[in-house]
Homo-oligomer: A and B are copies of this chain.
């Protein structure tokens, strides 16, 4: 075990892969090459349309130990991961390494396949029951979590080889051009799968809406697709685009959003041409609303919003208070309509948004990112993966990527949840290093990272409750008291990779 830059002990190797301990947010320089196999020449009008998922599994030559990838654009409404994995199980194939961008509660049936030995490892975000199964030691190998940008980097760098990518699409043509922007199961952008389509040995598009060639718009190009399978339904529209994203009504959370926006305004960031990233959480939405109010009041315009797009942001676009929306994933029907119809609502790939090993991803041009946390600590390190009981229940998302890129990275969180303090001496798991976190905003107070002397200087004399993080911690301890430490086993059930391919922390088994 080697101690890394954030003080965590990292094993030398997991699953046969040598680990590189985290060195600092911009300090690991990879000098590798991006490689992918050249496919053989395709013939005129080569037939790609297959009769069933089973036929696709057969034609792709999926064998024991194969690496299989999926995207999570269908979120908790997804049918495709379960359909494909059940078929793989039925065919008696074992030891699959699953490489999804994320899994959701709907993927509960995978737990049985894990127990049966069909799945030996997951490299990807596990939200909910699969994460619980991982935490409690059910998965054979050590799982690997990466940020959205880190996953793209890992694929390009050949750190993970995808044998077969299954790509759910709400519309596709017989040659594989595919989109998520229209059709009964529409879900918006399909950018999470772009890198998979380019680098996987075999690529299968699965759709419930086969359209005439050429399907357009299309994110996935026929140039990269081997096979197309039509199924009855790829997901439950009610759960794909939930339409339930609402601004928080909690006075505490509204207060946090108000503090955050007031802070940004006091440091002079909210001006004509600024940019921000926000998500679909209640506090983020409230902050977006308050920023919108300022834009309207002063009649100024943001250059771009990087989303996580909701109807709230779409309204700002429509009203002319945002020049363009750069959309990696969306959360409601209004955002779906907008992406399809408004040329200023632009789909972007994860590579464009978040890839550290690029010549500048969109995150690098953000003035502000609003991010959440399950815990933060006195070093400003952030945990978004585990709860304070140690259970691994959430993915990284773009957290590390946005934090490293944005001019001001702001964590907006209540100081405690269910009487448990969110601010800790040390976070249970380090997801995002404190050096990339600038401000922590809670209802109890605001803490600025001492590295950001500029922000400390600019807010001298502010009426906001700005204080040192240690002071905020003391204040919080008086309310919640010192929390209990989680009961963890010795076994490392997962590692948390940083976006540059180094390892920032490990997650240990939770004793049930």
The residue of chain B having its C-beta at the shortest distance from the C-beta of A30 within the complex is B38
- Among the listed stretches A261-269, A352-360, A449-457, which one makes contact with chain B, having 4 or more residues with CB under 8 Å of it? A352-360
- Chain B positions within 8 Å of A223 at CB level: 351-352, 355, 358-361
- Chain B positions within 8 Å of A406 at CB level: 44
A318 to chain B, nearest CB (A): 17
- Among the listed stretches A78-86, A185-193, A212-220, A292-300, which one makes contact with chain B, having 4 or more residues with CB under 8 Å of it? A212-220
- Chain B positions within 8 Å of A273 at CB level: 212
A149 to chain B, nearest CB (A): 10
- Chain B positions within 8 Å of A224 at CB level: 358-359
Asked if B405 and A360 sit within 8 Å, CB to CB, the answer is no
A326 to chain B, nearest CB (A): 7
Asked if A365 and B41 sit within 8 Å, CB to CB, the answer is no
- Chain B positions within 8 Å of A175 at CB level: 360, 365
| Cα–Cα, bound, A304→B218 (Å) | 15
Contact of A212 among B36, B38, B42, B303 (CB under 8 A): B303
Q: A33 on the interface (CB 8 Å rule)? A: yes
Given the interface contacts A213-B304, A360-B223, does A26 sit within 8 Å of B38 by beta carbon? Answer: no
Given the interface contacts A36-B33, A213-B365, A324-B214, does A352 sit within 8 Å of B44 by beta carbon? Answer: no
| Cα–Cα, bound, A478→B54 (Å) | 63
Asked if B32 and A34 sit within 8 Å, CB to CB, the answer is no
A410 to chain B, nearest CB (A): 15
Q: A48 on the interface (CB 8 Å rule)? A: yes
| Cα–Cα, bound, A39→B156 (Å) | 11
Q: A222 on the interface (CB 8 Å rule)? A: yes
Flag A26-66 by CB within 8 Å of B: 1 or 0 each. 10111111111111111111101000000000000000000
Q: Which interface residue of A28, A217, A343 has the most chain B CB atoms within 10 A? A: A343
A187 to chain B, nearest CB (A): 20
Q: A203 on the interface (CB 8 Å rule)? A: yes
Flag A8-33 by CB within 8 Å of B: 1 or 0 each. 00000000000000000010111111
- Chain B positions within 8 Å of A360 at CB level: 42, 46, 48, 175-176, 222-223, 225
- Chain B positions within 8 Å of A36 at CB level: 33-34
- Chain B positions within 8 Å of A500 at CB level: 41
Q: A323 on the interface (CB 8 Å rule)? A: yes
Contact of A359 among B226, B304, B324 (CB under 8 A): B226
Q: Which interface residue of A39, A217, A222, A359 has the most chain B CB atoms within 10 A? A: A359
- Chain B positions within 8 Å of A176 at CB level: 359-360
Number of copies: 2
Asked if A46 and B364 sit within 8 Å, CB to CB, the answer is yes
Given the interface contacts A46-B364, A352-B223, A360-B46, does A34 sit within 8 Å of B35 by beta carbon? Answer: yes
Q: A407 on the interface (CB 8 Å rule)? A: yes
* A328-361 at interface with B (beta carbon < 8 Å): 343-344, 346, 351-352, 355-361
Asked if B303 and A214 sit within 8 Å, CB to CB, the answer is yes
Contact of A31 among B28, B38, B356 (CB under 8 A): B38
- Chain B positions within 8 Å of A221 at CB level: 352
A366 to chain B, nearest CB (A): 9
- Chain B positions within 8 Å of A361 at CB level: 42, 222-223
- Chain B positions within 8 Å of A477 at CB level: none
| Cα–Cα, bound, A501→B34 (Å) | 21
A346 to chain B, nearest CB (A): 6
- Chain B positions within 8 Å of A33 at CB level: 35-38
Q: A157 on the interface (CB 8 Å rule)? A: yes
A377 to chain B, nearest CB (A): 23
Given the interface contacts A364-B44, A407-B44, does A38 sit within 8 Å of B216 by beta carbon? Answer: no
A428 to chain B, nearest CB (A): 27
Q: Which interface residue of A39, A217, A500 has the most chain B CB atoms within 10 A? A: A39
- Chain B positions within 8 Å of A37 at CB level: 33-34
Asked if A346 and B407 sit within 8 Å, CB to CB, the answer is no
A177 to chain B, nearest CB (A): 9
- Chain B positions within 8 Å of A26 at CB level: 41, 43
The residue of chain B having its C-beta at the shortest distance from the C-beta of A37 within the complex is B33
Q: Which interface residue of A38, A216, A355 has the most chain B CB atoms within 10 A? A: A38
A407 to chain B, nearest CB (A): 6
A-B contact pairs, 30 of them (CB 8 A): A31-B38, A33-B35, A33-B36, A33-B37, A33-B38, A34-B38, A39-B357, A39-B358, A41-B500, A42-B356, A42-B364, A44-B364, A44-B405, A45-B364, A45-B365, A46-B360, A203-B359, A212-B303, A213-B303, A213-B304, A214-B304, A214-B346, A216-B324, A222-B352, A222-B360, A222-B361, A223-B351, A224-B358, A224-B359, A225-B359
* Known contacts A203-B359, A214-B346, then 11 further A-B pairs from the complex at CB < 8 Å, ordered by chain A residue: A33-B38, A38-B357, A41-B357, A42-B360, A45-B364, A213-B303, A214-B303, A224-B358, A224-B359, A225-B359, A225-B360
